[in-house]
Amino acid sequence: MSDAQNQPVFSIEKLYVKDISLEIPNAPQVFLEREAPQVDIQLHHESQPIEDGVYQTLLTVTVTAKVKEKTLFLAEVGQAGIFVIRNVPPADLEPVLGIACPNILFPYVREVISDVVTRAGFPPVVLSPVNFEALFQAQKQAQAEQQQPASPIIQATH
């Protein structure tokens, strides 16, 4: 029985939209625009413990569409999930929170972004798949490079 108690546990308790925002600052004139917009997409995720073995991961996607300097729309969605993660070694917890949880949340945030942009009167924005494992590895690499000690500066005095 003690083996079963020590088995790793990963389950989804709740998935929900924590934050949603849509701005169309230049309406109604933007609906007369004929030029294709430049679309910028920003992704951000963070996880935090709620209680022992329970974590919230928040995946935020910001989509900004502009023609020249004029903003057509800005849509931001924060898709959250509450996950139970127990009996996972500390070294494995960070990849679970940084890769597995955002991978679960992404299809939901993708759907909400597409829906809110369409409901605003624009063609849908369909987010391309994201490789959260590659993003996680790149983030770890960047952190490792920042922690490298700088070369000591040697000053000679006469």
DSSP string computed for 126-138: -PPP--HHHHHHH
pLDDT tens-place string over residues 10-69? 999 999 999 999 999 999 999 998 899 999 999 999 999 999 999 999 999 999 999 999
DSSP 92-106: HHHHIIIIIHHHHHH
Q: Which CATH superfamily is domain 18-121 in?
A: SecB-like (3.10.420.10)
- Residue 92 reports pLDDT greater than 50: yes
Give this prediction's pTM: 0.86
pLDDT given at position 148: 66
Instruction: Give, rounded to a whole angstrom, the gap between the first and last alpha carbons of the chain.
Output: 73
The structural domains of the chain, with segments of one domain joined by +, span: 18-121
